[in-house]
Amino acid sequence: PSEKPPQARGWPSKRLPPKTAFFVMKSFCARDVKISIQKGIWATQQRNEARLNAAFEKYDAVVLFFSVNESRAFQGYAKMASRTGESEQVWTAIDGAQSWGGVFKVKWQTIYDLNFTETGHLRNPLNENKQVKISRDGQEMDPEVGFQLCDLFDKGYAANPMQSMKRRKLADIEAQTAVKKQRTDPHDRHGGGGGGSGGGSGGSANGYGK
């Protein structure tokens, strides 16, 4: 008999096509990821756009892993649902210093706080075989590793659905991140993506996406 729980067949990771590309999206703050979850949109740095759009055209699916800087965790994964710039929504950077590209649609799959301690065995051949937690904004991930990471998200959510940004208040998330920032591993301080406040409407997600 299989060791996997019956609901595993319905996990988003099990529905991903074999020809899927994977990238890491870093965010300066939890608020931006909350906006993305609520509105089904994202915006990344302009230097990432060409690579994402090329993957969107070449592959059957493009998965984005989200991680808030200083959080020492991934917050979930979503699929690109349009090319960059194809959403009518607006995303404004708070600091005004970053150059954000066009807004694009995303469809969230699983929203779960996956701590970096749970991903230490996963290394990315496309990033000098470093642990997946050591990723800059826009870093591509080897497909075999990407599928394994998706599986970890789904297993984690199935075991502990309350450990999800979707179910927690923003103030609690930001307070927790501030505490973790005091003892952050320097290798976790990479990238930056998303940024600022969003507008308009878009997709929504539970712990598992539809």
Handedness of CA 166, 79, 83, 27 (dihedral sign): positive
Mean pLDDT, rounded, of the chain: 81
DSSP 56-98: HHHSSEEEEEEEETTSSEEEEEEEE-S-TT-----EE-SSS-S
Mean pLDDT within 37-46: 93
pLDDT digit string, tens, across residues 147-193? 999 999 999 999 999 999 887 665 555 565 555 555 444 444 334 44
pTM (2 d.p.): 0.79
